[in-house]
A = this chain, B = another copy of it.
């Protein structure tokens, strides 16, 4: 059985290692795949998008995700079974929602805050270790979801609030959902959605007022030029060839970006 693990813990400290140890102790046969621990601190939106994008590439199993600014507070902790039988474990703050959607939607959910699988005493700051990792491990080891906690109606699960793209004739507003270490900015929109805006290769754009070009890849524009392109997740993204688009535009996950169509390329 596979347990995938995403968090904002980083790798400087022992947080990730201790969660691995807890899982290995409870479910020695489970294989843990670290999807990423470099999600920005408290970056629920960013983590949710990473998990959603990656899901089609992840073997089915238990998907543990911990980006949890509300740890120790009132937010619910959940385990969710999706229509395709994948199981998700984490805080109920929207982090899991887009991936659950990709997995066909939630069909069963439990509140695990007082799960019999938790490690006592549960600390107020490290639920990854005390709550989420042991629940994920027990589920990976074969426990039924219903044993992990108390039932929650699936329509009461917290959605992730990403504003949908808004489009007028030549102007589109889209949400930035991720920034990679090169400063490339992923937008929550795909090519098809923007086609109406005349997004043909070579089209001249303005991104937050700055000249850009819709291109297939970095090498198609001059160094220092901004481009909009379809990234490896089939979403549109912003980049500057050999530069850092996020820094240049001051864009962070959750921000809205304005894209103007300046001149449509001729076919």
Chain B nearest CB from A44 CB (Å) reads: 16
Q: Which residues of B contact A2 (CB under 8 A)?
A: 24
Q: Which residues of B contact A123 (CB under 8 A)?
A: 231-232, 234
If the complex has contacts A124-B217, A125-B217, are A34 and B54 also in contact, measured as CB distance less than 8 A?
Answer: no
Q: Is A25 an interface residue (CB 8 A)?
A: yes
On chain A, the number of residues with a Cβ less than 8 Å from chain B's Cβ atoms is 49
Q: Which residues of B contact A198 (CB under 8 A)?
A: none
- The answer on a CB contact under 8 Å between A38 and B54 is no
Q: Is A142 an interface residue (CB 8 A)?
A: no
Q: Is A169 an interface residue (CB 8 A)?
A: no
One of A14-22, A87-95, A188-196 at the interface: A14-22
- The answer on a CB contact under 8 Å between A24 and B59 is yes
One of A4-12, A76-84, A202-210, A250-258 at the interface: A4-12
Q: Which residues of B contact A216 (CB under 8 A)?
A: 124
- The answer on a CB contact under 8 Å between B14 and A36 is yes
Q: Is A262 an interface residue (CB 8 A)?
A: no
A58 CA / B17 CA spacing, docked (Å)? 9
If the complex has contacts A21-B54, A57-B22, A125-B217, are A13 and B33 also in contact, measured as CB distance less than 8 A?
Answer: no
- The answer on a CB contact under 8 Å between B54 and A180 is no
7 nearest A-B residue pairs (beta carbon): A126-B232, A12-B38, A17-B35, A123-B232, A14-B36, A25-B59, A12-B181
Residues of chain A having any CB pair with chain B under 8 Å: 2, 4, 6, 10-14, 16-18, 20-22, 24-25, 28, 31, 33-38, 41, 50, 53-54, 57-59, 72-73, 123-126, 129-130, 180-182, 216-219, 231-232, 234
Q: Would you give 27 A-B contacts (Cβ < 8 Å), ordered by A? A: A2-B24, A6-B14, A10-B181, A11-B36, A12-B180, A13-B38, A14-B35, A14-B36, A14-B53, A14-B54, A17-B33, A17-B34, A18-B58, A20-B34, A21-B54, A21-B58, A41-B182, A57-B129, A72-B218, A72-B219, A123-B234, A124-B216, A124-B217, A125-B217, A125-B231, A129-B232, A130-B232
